[in-house]
Amino acid sequence: MTRTTPPRPVDIAEHFPELRRYSATATRLHPRPGGPSTADSSIGGPLLWPSDEPWPVCDDGDDHYIFQLQTPATVRRTREIYAAAQARADASGTRYELTDEELAELPDIDFSEPHDLVKQPIPLIPVAQLYRRDVPDFAGPQGTDLLQVLWCPLDHPKEGHNPRVRLYWRRAADVTRPLETAPEPPVVSDAYLPEPCVVHPERVREYQYGGLLPEQLDARIVAWEKAGEAGDEDETGRSYHYDLSLAPGWKVGGYANWSLTDPYPMDCTECGTAMTLLFTADSSEWHGTGGSWRPVEEPAQALSGPTEVVIGRGYALYVFRCPVSFEHPPSTAMQ
Ligand SMILES: [Zn+2]
Ligand SMILES: [Zn+2]
């Protein structure tokens, strides 16, 4: 099934033609739980990985910030239990309730595996695998057709308490002997273990975050929004920030939403060049139940967090790349 973003309530570029200069396309990935293979683009799915290439690990050990650690198996079982209870409630129209057996199986609320487990090298986990053919806004070195995003599923204080992201580009045809089973970390922070999802890429148009537009233009847009509030009832959907500029959810390309901290420069640590947004991992796919970004195929009560990934308190993790060279290291920002 495809996923289709509803038309924007207002074509903002008609009101402010100069916005076209501050516009870019993005590919919304629309991840939904499924059973992707290594031949598919996916979130949290298996990677097409050469068996003779070492699987990347994180050696940060004691430098991780450790709160609660769980084995990937426990995280998956916990999600299964909640999903089963939800399915029963949906099917019978009764209240959501866990059975005594299910309650007994769930880990205690403050449970953690021993913290010492992070002293060993932690295998990174697959976050995204994106084939160029599937993603109109794919960016990568010439000759590559596959981007793989991995992260260490623990908090890194030196990187804003975020998972540490590594990017790999390759040519799928070069992987003649794929790895059969990827190593798994002994423990994870449960919010950083994505559910295996298939993707439904869709290209949308975005406009730069308000705080990064020329001041005058931003001020005129704000005035236009306010005029709408005071005006007639039909003038809804005038929020540049929520409805007209930036798509929420997992995406490739486009712009970052800087509403948590206000914008700060993202410059390449190698060469100092201003970086561009490559990839976004988001805690939710649309805002609230009435959000204008919910695909038309989704019912109002559909869950907006299909990947189960949660960044901070429901924020997004933006991964930037250097426009000068794909070999320069990526940077991340949580917003
Ligand atoms: Zn780590
Ligand atoms: Zn650079």
Confidence of residue 226 (pLDDT cuts 50, 70, 90): confident
Distance CA 214, CA 181 (A): 50
Which bound ligand lies closest to the C-alpha atom of 274? 2
Angle at 8 between CA 7 and CA 11, to 5 degrees: 115
The per-residue pLDDT for range 116-142, each reduced to its tens digit, is 999 999 999 999 999 999 999 999 999
CA–CA distance, 211 with 318 (Å, rounded to integer): 17
Distance from the alpha carbon of residue 67 to the mean position of ligand 2, in angstroms? 34
How much distance in Å is there from the Cα of 248 to the middle of ligand 1? Answer: 26
Q: Ligand 2 centroid vs 177 CA: distance in angstroms?
A: 32
The confidence score (pLDDT) of residue 234 equals 52
For residue 268, report the distance from its CA to the centre of ligand 2, in Å: 5
Place of tokens 């690990």: 57
Q: Of the bound ligands, which one is closest to the alpha carbon of residue 62?
A: 1
Tokens encoding 92? 């019978």
Q: Which residues pair with 207 in a beta bridge?
A: 23
Give kind and range of the element (H or E) at residue 216: helix 215-230
Asked if 42 contacts 51 with a C-beta cutoff of 8 angstroms, the reply is no
188 touches 153 (CB < 8 A): yes
Please write the tens of the pLDDT for every residue from 173-219: 999 999 999 999 999 999 999 999 999 999 999 999 999 999 999 99
Closest listed ligand to the CA of 266: 2
User: Which residues, chain by chain, have CB under 5 Å from ion ligand 1?
Assistant: 58, 60, 152, 154
Rg (CA), the chain: 21
Q: What is the pLDDT of residue 159?
A: 87
What is the overall mean pLDDT for the chain? 94
- Per-residue confidence (pLDDT) for residue 36, from 0 to 100: 98
